[in-house]
């Protein structure tokens, strides 16, 4: 054990660091580490640059929908028939099955809903959809992804919605494997990504997002897992 360091002694007692020095050291330490002294219970007013998406938004498949909603999009060619999507929030993923040289529209691939209650100071969440191409080929078989009402209240449509607790929107999509910029290579499985990008007033950071991989097989049957 190393010897304890002793403070220099002044006449009449030990020399203590000044209050100004303590404040300066604390300020430098906080700025260097990126830590906040305000805690992690509220993110209003742009207090943090990153947070957990599950505090603000949930994304459900049929098996995880707390409202018990059915009628979700199914995996083509599956027997017995199973929903295309599985999981919840960050574990959500979808396999649409086989679509050979065709165009198809699917309703209710998944459902999004704000956390209830939302953190203090947050009254609503805005969710935007973005698409990422298949990383292996650079191709995109998903031609349209939009919101629609899902048995809840609120207005759902287009690629961006603002939701309050109790609102529920489903995600619908259109795909094509008809020959288009390299699409229609029989036997190819594409894995594009549907991004659900969440934000709220006063938040200018990142990280409130879900990335949902969506498998599309250019072929017959249910396609590879």
What is the DSSP track for 50-100? ---GGGTEEEE-GGG-TT------B-BT-SS--BSEESBGGG-EEEEEE--
pLDDT(81) > 50: yes
Is residue 122 a part of any domain in this protein? yes
Looking at per-residue confidence, does 187 or 44 come out higher? 187
pLDDT(151) > 90: no
Residue 172 pLDDT grade (very low, low, confident, very high; cuts 50, 70, 90)? very high
Is residue 29 a part of any domain in this protein? no
Total domain count, the chain: 1
d(CA 210, CA 166): 20
pLDDT in tens, 60-78: 999 999 999 999 999 999 9
Instruction: Tell me which residue range forms the domain holding 82.
Output: 53-218
Is residue 24 a part of any domain in this protein? no
Residue 181 pLDDT grade (very low, low, confident, very high; cuts 50, 70, 90)? low
Whole-model pTM: value is 0.77
- Answer yes or no: are the C-beta atoms of 171 and 108 closer than 8 Å: yes
- Answer yes or no: are the C-beta atoms of 173 and 106 closer than 8 Å: yes
pLDDT(58) > 90: yes
Pairing type for strands 209-218 and 93-98 reads: parallel
pLDDT confidence of residue 152: 65
Is residue 45 a part of any domain in this protein? no
Is residue 154 a part of any domain in this protein? yes
- Answer yes or no: are the C-beta atoms of 72 and 82 closer than 8 Å: no
CATH number of the domain encompassing residue 115: 2.60.40.2310
Is residue 10 a part of any domain in this protein? no
User: Worst-scoring range by mean pLDDT, 25-34, 41-50, 88-97, 165-174?
Assistant: 25-34
């Amino acid at each position: 054990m190393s010897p304890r360091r002793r403070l220099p002694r002044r006449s009449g007692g030990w020399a203590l660091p000044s209050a100004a020095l303590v404040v300066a050291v604390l300020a430098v330490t906080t700025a260097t580490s990126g830590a906040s002294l305000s805690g992690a219970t509220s993110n209003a007013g742009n207090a943090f640059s990153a947070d957990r998406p599950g505090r603000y938004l949930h994304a459900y498949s049929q098996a995880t929908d707390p409202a018990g909603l059915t009628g979700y999009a199914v995996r083509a060619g599956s027997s017995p028939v199973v929903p295309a999507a599985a999981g919840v929030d960050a574990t959500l993923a979808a396999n649409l099955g086989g679509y050979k040289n065709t165009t198809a529209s699917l309703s209710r691939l998944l459902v999004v809903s704000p956390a209830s209650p939302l953190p203090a100071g947050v009254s609503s969440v805005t969710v935007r959809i973005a698409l990422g191409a298949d990383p292996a080929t650079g191709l995109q078989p998903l031609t349209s992804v939009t919101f629609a009402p899902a048995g809840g209240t609120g207005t759902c449509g287009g690629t961006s919605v603002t939701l309050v607790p109790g609102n529920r929107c489903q995600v619908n999509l259109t795909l094509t494997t008809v020959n288009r910029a390299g699409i229609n290579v029989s036997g190819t499985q594409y894995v594009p990504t549907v991004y659900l990008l969440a934000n709220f007033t006063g938040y200018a950071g990142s990280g409130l997002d879900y990335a949902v991989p969506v498998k599309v097989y250019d072929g017959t049957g249910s396609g590879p897992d």
